[in-house]
Structure 1
């Protein structure tokens, strides 16, 4: 008898797990399609009909960078997917029957928690590195699409400013696109100054590659106040920057995969550079399963409350408010942790831990008084 009940509950847990997994993945896929369509339309609108910006090329750029954009959507997909699954189970009276059979609220929430944590582990260990690789390929395909389209296509990594020093004097470097962790730059403009601090020349280059204490420029135009513009196929600018310093200065933490982050953090620390941003990204990824578990618990809180009190509007509003609160906390922690004001481990883990504690507290109040 006891063995039969154990098998039945195991079967029920498996059934609930598949229902939650299907709801979450379905919502995630729908969001991915919508993001891809809107991103594609926006890129096509801003391309201005450039010859190099064909439909296939723009579509491929958008398609390859969609997975990384979806990383920000995953917690909300888990939240609303769990709400949808709880609501569907309640409408079909499956939760009512399970409760009548002696299944506690913790037993039918456990499968959802396992699914959420499992998705978090998969998202960190497999999905994130894959998304970073695809994003890098998207940047490679977008590389060289300048002119009127550079201002939006190069937002794949964002324009940046960098002040540097070298044998020739100081210079200020501006780039529209960053590749290879800062070792390759596209759409480069350099303002050079002599040793006395006076403006020397303005250099515009299609591409810059970081070599041994030098930037190697290609397709260059040099502007000075004393002569007409001169064009060069290749040009060099000295720099004291190392690859680690360039990466720490201008490379986005999101451009580095989960498995590579510890090495980047170690290299930055050995070079005596602050690694707050990379440590924060690493801890944020480690805390992702906890954050998704918090989303499942919050979904259970609002769903069970609505099941008893009625009102789909309250369900949707409660989910939106809960997701918004955790999102604000995550962004606040990211800003504080990235600036070194708060330890990265605290900034990354606090939202998820807070959500889990809040969810357990509300469920205990609802179920056990």
Structure 2
């Protein structure tokens, strides 16, 4: 009898888990298709009139970008997928039957929690590195495809400005696109100054690559105040910047995969650079399973309450509000942790832990009075 009950409980848990998997996966894929469509239309609008901006190339750029964009949507996909799963079980009276058979709320929430945590682990260890690789390929496909207001990259917010020093004097570098963590730049403009701080020349180049103590510029045009423009196929501009310093100054943490982040953090610290942003990104990825578990618990709180009291509108509104609160907390934590105001560990883990504690507290109140 005990063995039969155990097998029945396992079968029921697997059944519930698969319902949640399909609900979350379906919502995730639907959202992916919508984001791809809107992103494709936006890129087509922004590249209209640009040489080489064919439909296939733009579609490939968008397709390779979407996986990293979807990382931001994953917590909401889990939240609303879990709500849909609980609502489906409730509407078919399967939760009622399970309760009548003596299954507690914690027993039919457990499969959903396991699904959420497993998705979080897979998202961190497999999906994130793959999304970063695909995003890098997207950047390579898009390399050189830009206009005055275009920026296809997630690594930066707007165009890049960087002040640097070198053997020949100081310079200010401006670029429209970056690759390889900031070691390759496209659409480059350099304003150089002598040791007395006087302007000497403006250099415009198609591409710049960071070599040993110098930026190697391709297809460069030199403008001075005393002569006609001069074109060079290649040109070297000295710099004291190291790859670690360029990465810290330009590259966004999201452009580095989960397994590479510890190495980048260590390199930044050895170079004497602050590693707040990379530490925060690493801790945020580590905390993702906890955040997804919090989403599942909040979905259970909202769904169980609605299943008893009725009101689909309240269900949707409650889910949106709960997800919005956690999103705001996560973004606030990123801002504080990225600036070094609070420790990255606390900034990354606090929203997920808060959500889990809040969900458990509400469930205890609803179920155990």
Do they fold alike, i.e. is TM over 0.5? Answer: yes
TM category, shorter: over 0.9
- Counterpart CA distance in 2 for 1:152 and 1:307 is 48
| Aligned position for 1:223 | 223
- Counterpart CA distance in 1 for 2:62 and 2:149 is 15
How many Å apart are 1:152 and its aligned residue? 2.2
On the 8 A contact 1:154/1:176 being kept in 2, the answer is no
Summarize the alignment of residues 82-121 of structure 1 with structure 2, pairs less than 5 Å apart: 82-121=82-121
- Counterpart CA distance in 2 for 1:51 and 1:255 is 27
| Aligned position for 1:294 | 294
On the 8 A contact 2:283/2:348 being kept in 1, the answer is yes
- Counterpart CA distance in 2 for 1:172 and 1:221 is 16
Summarize the alignment of residues 88-237 of structure 1 with structure 2, pairs less than 5 Å apart: 88-146=88-146, 148=147, 151-158=149-156, 159-237=159-237
Give the secondary structure class of the aligned counterpart of 1:265: helix
Relative to the length of structure 2, the TM-score reads 0.98
| Aligned position for 1:312 | 312
Give the secondary structure class of the aligned counterpart of 1:222: strand
- Counterpart CA distance in 1 for 2:334 and 2:142 is 28
- Counterpart CA distance in 2 for 1:209 and 1:361 is 54
On the 8 A contact 1:142/1:153 being kept in 2, the answer is no
Structure 2: gaps of 5 or more residues = none
Relative to the length of structure 1, the TM-score reads 0.98
Give the secondary structure class of the aligned counterpart of 2:294: helix
- Counterpart CA distance in 2 for 1:203 and 1:154 is 23
- Counterpart CA distance in 1 for 2:274 and 2:51 is 43
State yes or no: 1:48 paired with 2:58: no
Give the secondary structure class of the aligned counterpart of 1:12: helix
How far does the alpha carbon of each residue in 1:205-244 deviate from its partner, in whole angstroms, 9 at most, with x for none?
1100000100000010111111111111001100001111
How many Å apart are 1:156 and its aligned residue? 4.2
How many Å apart are 1:61 and its aligned residue? 0.1
Number of equivalenced pairs: 367
| Aligned position for 2:247 | 247
How far does the alpha carbon of each residue in 1:125-183 deviate from its partner, in whole angstroms, 9 at most, with x for none?
0000000000000000000113x3x6324344332111100011111111111111111
- Counterpart CA distance in 2 for 1:322 and 1:157 is 29
| Aligned position for 2:279 | 279
On the 8 A contact 1:145/1:153 being kept in 2, the answer is no
Give the secondary structure class of the aligned counterpart of 1:53: coil
How far does the alpha carbon of each residue in 1:22-75 deviate from its partner, in whole angstroms, 9 at most, with x for none?
000000000000000000001111212323000000000000010000000000
- Counterpart CA distance in 2 for 1:288 and 1:212 is 38
Give the secondary structure class of the aligned counterpart of 2:260: helix
